[in-house]
Amino acid sequence: MSGGTSGYPMPTRQASDREASHLVQSMDVNQFIEAFRADLAAAGNPAELDEVRRTHTGKKSPVKAAFKDLRSVDAADRPKVAAALNQAQKTIEAELDAATANIEAKALATRLDAEWMDLSMPGLATGRGARHPLTEVENRCMDVLRRLGFTLIDGPEIDAAYYNFDALNIPEHHPARDMQDTFWVTGGLLLRSHTTTVQARVLEEKPALPIRIATAGRVYRNEAVDATHLAMFHQLEGLWIDQGLTFAHLKGVLAFIVRELYGEGRLRFKPKFYPYTEPSIGVDLACALCDAAGCEACHGAGWVTILGAGMVHPKVFLEFGYDPDAVSGIAFGLGTTRMAAQWAGVSKVKALYDQELAVLHDLHRPSGGAR
């Protein structure tokens, strides 16, 4: 059949002008519509619909052919046949438009269906982030300190030697300057060797009593790296200045902090020396890795020093114009790097700073408490 297209049946009434003429004469115009509807019903997609449109409304469509053949119709019947053909043409076009809209809607629905995603379904699992053990330990420490009324403040990591040493009763040629081998920067500046610099800066401003501040961050010492020492590590310090504070307050605060962080674990106080506190003490925790039996993490001692503390030295008060007979203060510094290493269960503190994702995955202990 001429004009035939594979895929769907062609109208049976398109065969020839002669046949169309016969149809027009018999006024079987409805046959055009029926043939069109059969093709339309078989068209399942926009391309097939286009083909139906070409076949039934194009120049060679049965209706157009019949129009051309009107001359062969009796003059008396001609208006009637022409009207019927016009009506058939309109019907076909209207049904085509409706079918087009319908098929486009279906195509859209199919596409939406194919692209639909159930957003309520759980996604593909990707690695979940976790706080770094250092951040975790700092946060836990601050949670405890805030309950005691401490406020976290910040300070510069590059500071003047005055705040790092001189103001803290560590004058030039003092052995402590050797004890804490320092990274010097040009212009008399240095990388702070302890967060106590921030305490000096606060005291210099002489805020109203009581002063209860905490500061946390990196400190730098030119030290040989081993299991418990690094050239850069983290500290968290607290300073409480008021009238009438005694050594009992110091011990009480330290015991409270350690108990809140570690529970009723084994701890011991020991005498220490710091130039800016007098008397000075240290707090050791039973090593979490070896349960005080002695291991690499604790240099075989079974104990790890996690904080140093003391009563603020009178000379520090005098430096900033306080009367050491009128006010007293307690100061303490937590070695958050060692605490984090103990908490994460790593024997070498360097692992905390290696930025190895695999190591950090190992460090992450979702249900672990401070240890």
Question: Which residues of this protein are in contact with Zn ion, per CB under 5 A?
Answer: 287, 289-290, 295, 297-298
Nearer to Zn ion among residue 216 and residue 286 (C-beta): 286
Name the residue among 183, 202, 190, 203 with its Cα closest to residue 162. 190
Tell me the closest approach of the beta carbon of residue 340 to Zn ion, in angstroms: 15
Give the rounded distance of the alpha carbon of 10 from its chain centre: 62
Nearer to Zn ion among residue 145 and residue 287 (C-beta): 287
Residue nearest to Zn ion (CB): 287
Tell me the closest approach of the beta carbon of residue 250 to Zn ion, in angstroms: 27
Nearer to Zn ion among residue 240 and residue 303 (C-beta): 303
Torsion angle, CA of 15/17/18/23, rounded to 10 degrees?
Answer: 80
Q: Where are the alpha helices (DSSP H) in the chain?
A: 17-25, 30-42, 46-57, 62-68, 78-115, 133-147, 161-164, 175-179, 196-205, 247-262, 314-319, 336-344, 357-363
Tell me the closest approach of the beta carbon of residue 293 to Zn ion, in angstroms: 7
Nearer to Zn ion among residue 298 and residue 363 (C-beta): 298
> Residues with Cβ < 8 Å from 336, sequence gap 6 or more?
134, 137, 138, 141, 216, 234, 235, 236
Tell me the closest approach of the beta carbon of residue 271 to Zn ion, in angstroms: 22
Nearer to Zn ion among residue 294 and residue 314 (C-beta): 294
Tell me the closest approach of the beta carbon of residue 335 to Zn ion, in angstroms: 15
305-318 as b/e: b if 16+ CB within 10 A: bbbbbbbbbeebbe
